Amino acid sequence: MSKRTLSQLGVAGKTVLVRVDFNVPIEQGVEAIANYDQRLRATLPTIQYLVERQCRIVLCSHLGRPRGKVDDGLRLKPVGDRLAVLLGRPVASLRDCVGEAVTERVAGMSAGDICLLENLRFYEGEESDDDTFAAELAALADCFVMDAFAVAHRAHASTVGIPRHLPTAMGLLTQREVESLGLALAEPDRPLAALMGGAKVSDKILVLENLLSRLDHLFIGGGMAVTFLAAAGKPVGASVVEEDRLDFARDVLRRAGDGGITVHLPADVVAADEFSPLPASVNTVSTDSVPDGWYIMDIGADTADRYAGALAGCKTILWNGPMGVFEMEQFSTGTRTVAGGIADLPGVTTVVGGGSTAEAVEALGLMDKMTHVSTGGGASLEFLEGRTLPGIAAIPDA
């Protein structure tokens, strides 16, 4: 995939509209933004690149799901304030994203100035890819930079509409996402491993379909492991089994065996007598002896050590999904052990999918120890599924 890059756009001295993804968990309070600012920090290289070239920088993003109506609780100013701290320079947060007042404000910007438009999703035209809305946004600038990989799987006005009106290129973040994920799929150093976790098999079906024939190793953890263990004939207590995915799990195990792919399933798990952060009883048990009525909450210590050891023998690792109920502290050990084991492995490319996996890596302070941590949850999944992302397809080829 060869798309036009920022260096090929010719932005010096121009007004540049940049689609970023500043969709942080604002519901936790503005004081918590600093704890969840990975997406802001990931876009800093693009913004700094434009500042150095004396551009007037107009940032646009969505926040939450206001569904086409103004919601004062979802205004972007607190995010803009945090961005200003990270950049060490002012960021003007505007009260709208289109209209005469916005046009005048942008026209009055000087070289190196940065402004952040108001929440794009305050307008229904954003999610419906209304061309009039896209044209109004495009009229603010000379060119457009797509640096919001996390929404590249959405065909919205700010992802596919604006490129119909302006010269467009990938930002540095989007370029890194496309290159890192693409290289891991197309030309990985071998052995290639997929470390799959998270809650459901159904969330990863298309990823497994696209990856399976390319893999040397497949590691299963998290809620996914419950269905795979059940498919392998193991007891899973009261844990939720995706009954409609059992045949798929059996088929994956069969095809992997036929293809010489090593599948790693948990040999021991952490089980609790209730699905709770503080259950009355917790035990580590063999996957041959999970008690009736108990819940599988995490992979066990032996499995975590075994996974970490086997992954160290691989050259490329694609990781998507925690190994247990990571958000409950007592059941985060498996994820911590595996993450720590693969962090900064010499000569190993580690590509971490977005969403809860990226949050886990960030919480563990291991962001800089991985080769690439994606900012896109759904977007990275769809990319790994082999699907075309509309926001990437809209960027001209190089």
339-384 residue pLDDT tens = 999 997 899 999 998 678 888 898 888 988 999 999 888 898 899 8
Q: In which band, very low, low, confident or very high, does the pLDDT at 213 lie, cut at 50, 70 and 90?
A: very high
Residue 17 parent element (H or E): strand 15-19
- Is 397 a residue whose pLDDT tops 80? yes
Across residues 256-267, what is the average pLDDT? 97
**pLDDT digits over 264-315, tens only?**
999 999 999 999 999 999 999 999 999 999 999 999 999 999 999 999 999 9
**Together in a domain, 167 and 231:** no
Report pLDDT for 246. Answer: 96
Domain boundary among 148, 173, 198: 173
Q: Residues 155, 193: one domain? A: no
Q: Do both 253 and 124 map to the same domain?
A: no
3-state helix, strand, coil in the chain (%, to 5): 45, 15, 40
Type of residue found at 163: P
Instruction: Decide if 1 is inside a domain.
Output: no
Chain-centroid distance of CA 395 in Å reads 20
Lookup: tokens for 205: 């079906």
pLDDT at 231 over 90: yes
CATH number where 206 lies = 3.40.50.1260
The answer to whether residues 121 and 240 belong to one domain is no
The confidence band for 199, taking pLDDT boundaries of 50, 70 and 90, is confident
* Residue of 112, 340, 341, 378 with catalytic role: 378
Residue 86 forms part of a structural domain: yes
- Between 316 and 206, the more confident residue is 316
pLDDT score of 47 more than 90:
yes
Query: Residue 200 catalytic?
Result: yes
Indicate whether 397 belongs to any domain.
no
Q: Is the pLDDT of residue 29 over 80?
A: no
Report d(CA 204, CA 210) in Å as an integer.
Answer: 10
From the candidates 14, 39, 56, 204, give the one annotated as an active-site residue: 39
- Decide: helix, strand or coil at residue 195: strand
- 101-125 confidence digits (pLDDT tens): 999 999 999 999 999 999 999 999 9
**Is the residue at 79 inside a domain?**
yes
When computed from its CA atoms, the radius of gyration of the chain, rounded to whole angstroms, is 23
Does residue 178 lie in a domain region? no
Contacts of 187 (CB under 8 A, 6+ apart): none
Residues 206 and 95 placed together within one structural domain of the fold = no
Contact 353, 380 (CB under 8 A): yes
Instruction: Kindly name the residue from 223, 237, 321, 355 that is annotated as catalytic.
Output: 355
| 1 pLDDT higher than 70 | no
- The reply to whether 139 falls in a domain is yes
Domain of 264, in residue numbers = 188-384
CA dist 179 to 44, 59, 163, 216, 250, Å? 18, 23, 21, 21, 33
- From the list 200, 214, 250, 315, the catalytic residue is 200
**Whole-number percent of the chain with pLDDT over 70:** 99
Answer for the pair 170, 177: CB distance below 8 angstroms, yes or no. no
391 is catalytic: no
Check pLDDT > 80 for residue 171: yes
In a domain, 261, yes or no: yes
In a shared domain, residues 230 and 112: no
Asked if 40 and 76 sit in the same domain, the reply is: yes
Summarised one tens digit per residue, pLDDT across range 124-138 is 999 999 999 999 999
Q: Tell me, yes or no, whether 14 lies in a domain.
A: yes
Enumerate the H helices of the chain as residue ranges: 38-52, 77-87, 100-107, 124-127, 131-138, 172-186, 205-211, 222-231, 246-258, 301-311, 333-342, 356-363, 378-384, 390-393
My answer on whether 193 and 168 are in the same domain is no
Give CA torsion, residues 175, 35, 27, 61, to 10 deg.
Answer: -30
**Model pLDDT for residues 5-18, shown as the tens digit of each residue:** 999 999 999 999 99
Q: How confident is the model at residue 32 (pLDDT cuts 50, 70, 90)?
A: confident
Helix (H) or strand (E) holding 275: none
Residue 158 and residue 80 share a domain:
yes
Q: How many helices and strands (H and E) does the chain possess?
A: 14, 15
pLDDT value, residue 356: 83
pTM above 0.85, yes or no: yes
Clarify whether 387 is annotated catalytic: no
